[in-house]
Structure 1
Amino acid sequence: MDQDSKNIAILNWVLTIFFGFIPGLVLYLVKTDDAYIKGHAIEALNWSITAIIGYAIATVLSFIVIGIFLFPVIGICHLIFCIMGAIAGSKGEDFKTPFAIRLIK
């Protein structure tokens, strides 16, 4: 794996912080020839979908006040897991996001 693949993996995770599932989906569809980038894109996409599901559940639960406390927890987890993914991408390692639902394999 070359430095360009590492840089794209880092960029994928950093953009996932701000744009959710879109960077992972774009890289998953465009960079099919590079297994390293595709692996990070799949992982970022799975985590983003899991976070969206978590936000939807928190929205429903906010009618009974519990969901209001879940929003910051999901946001902090999203930030931490994306930073962990970017660090793993810079080292050239694969990264499996904890708590992510593996919808895309």
Structure 2
Amino acid sequence: MEPMISTGADALYMNERDHVATALREIAAGETITYRNAAGLRQVTALNDIPFGHKIAIAGVETGADIRKYGEVIGRAESPIAAGQHVHVHNIEGIRGRGDLGAKETK
């Protein structure tokens, strides 16, 4: 049997500028989960089912706002995202590796 790593948390949170935490297990809608930041253990209630390894919002994000994970911008909100909501391709636009951002439109 492999040893378990005890984190005291249900989601991984890495940087004080982050809007999301990463689920360390399957999380059911309505469940209150715990993550740890610099101030200690914090909680948020999941508004949706969150699969293992997916992101959960720990703060509300407005449409068009950048979303940070591990201190880096990973995308832009396509709609308002509430704390506790599943954050994935259905509500964020990825911006990494895109050649069209900032490019002039040609017709």
TM-score in terms of structure 2 length: 0.24
Which of the pair is proportionally richer in strand? 2
Which of the pair is proportionally richer in helix? 1
Indicate the structure whose relative CO is greater, using CA pairs within 8 Å and at least 6 residues apart. Answer: 1
Task: Report which of the two structures shows the higher radius of gyration computed on alpha carbons.
Answer: 2
TM-score in terms of structure 1 length: 0.24
